[in-house]
A and B are shown apart, each in its own frame.
Chain A
């Protein structure tokens, strides 16, 4: 059953969209990842213009983060103070990101920058996950190895403007979380992702936050950053397709429900390795598109959205 998407201005099979949303939702339920970084490239492969895909995904991530944060909030795993500091950076970063998005679109380089950003991040994240999961699999066979030092002092702890974060048991400079928030906010605008896959490792390894507060706090600030991106994209670029977002999030919600139910029953590390391979495959597909000689070296300015 084809459905005409009013902003993307193309017809796509509604079951294909539900299936894509469901499959990515399943993975996000299984691994606790946002899924935007898989869904945006899939939308582009389906024929949605990168400009619309990125802006619409930001909208969809708002919904998936809200449903995710509720569970963490109930358990008291959200560090609101840290969330607010990250958010200050995130709002600034996403504002600059949407401005850069418009400027790149104007000169015809937006699609390229989106593709390259995805190649870099999918490549790095996929490789790191693959290494991590193969190490974990090896470690489970040799239980004696692999203790990590819990807290290390680096130059990062010498920065000024220190603040106490009780929930996370930290006393660190606010400059670092603001900088992290800014970078992730910028990427959120350019790539249409929540940025949890960068935010979470940064919070653990750079800020030294306890794992228990990391996911809830990350989701908390992602809601506001992606809401900001949605608003700015809708107001400036007219590229948010609410019909597309609604279909994707319907599939995503159902998929995530199944995913989280399976999470306990399946071998976690092997699955993480599988997700890493999926991430690398999507990245490789984008690289393929960049390096192979296009069927036609001429193209028309991307359709949909602002004139």
Chain B
């Protein structure tokens, strides 16, 4: 399976490279081209996480940085404090637009490829994410809740605090494995591929990636959310039938 994917990917990379060579003089504006091994990740009932292969070619030397972002979501961060001996949620802050997934991959240490100012401008690295709370907070609280959000997301495997690897095959072709865990949120992701040269971002390309529930799981989810009244009735009927069948088996056994 992976071998086939790799072989197919290499074939595509080779084709792209040839195309790149042929178009070299005219393609000055687009110095980096990249694509994904697939643009749709289906979350089926047996889904345990998956890898998507990113591959591409650059025009000339340079470093590649890949930024993967899931759709923005409202995240509520709660802080516990000890009240009468037990730990209770005592404070909460909502961040209305936090990326549901965030990962970075690079061909070298990002801090050495470009300056911190450029990292900040391109939102590279979790420390550079723009997270605004719904209500104004003083600086220390904001930092605490922001760090709390990042820590929880890293623990869930949805934010990667350390960049993954982009590997070059020769000095023109590159590839990276993007990993999505079992609990990956659904929606339209963006995969941004940046080419850096001499400390500057010289070219960028953005590719969409759709992650959605498919199969029975997706049907159940849609049923539960769009026809919740009938879903409730269905759940009861299913339980009544199962219980009745069990009762009949019991009687015979």
Measured CB to CB, the residues of A under 8 A from B are 1-4, 6-7, 9-11, 59-60, 62-68, 70-71, 74, 108-109, 112, 116, 223, 227, 230-236, 238, 240, 242-243, 245-246, 249-250, 253, 256-257, 260, 290-294, 296-301, 303, 307
Contact = CB atoms under 8 A, between A and B. Distances in A.
Given A300-B76, A301-B78, A307-B74, 17 more contacts: A4-B182, A6-B216, A6-B217, A6-B218, A59-B235, A66-B243, A67-B247, A70-B244, A235-B229, A236-B228, A240-B224, A257-B249, A290-B86, A294-B80, A299-B77, A300-B75, A300-B149
B168 interface: no
A62 B236 contact: yes
Contacts of A299: 77-78, 80, 89, 148, 152
Contacts of A71: 247, 250-251
Given A234-B224, A291-B85, A299-B80, A6 B238 contact: no
Contacts of A256: 246, 250
Contacts, number: 195
Contacts of B243: 62-68, 249
Nearest to A261: B253
If over half of A's interface residues share one DSSP class (helix, strand or loop), that class is named, otherwise mixed; here it is: helix
Contact of A243 (B44, B74, B220, B239): B220
B246 A253 contact: yes
14 contacts: A2-B48, A7-B221, A63-B240, A71-B250, A227-B240, A230-B236, A235-B228, A240-B232, A243-B217, A257-B253, A297-B81, A298-B152, A299-B148, A300-B76
A170 B32 CA distance: 85
B152 A300 contact: yes
B251 A293 contact: no
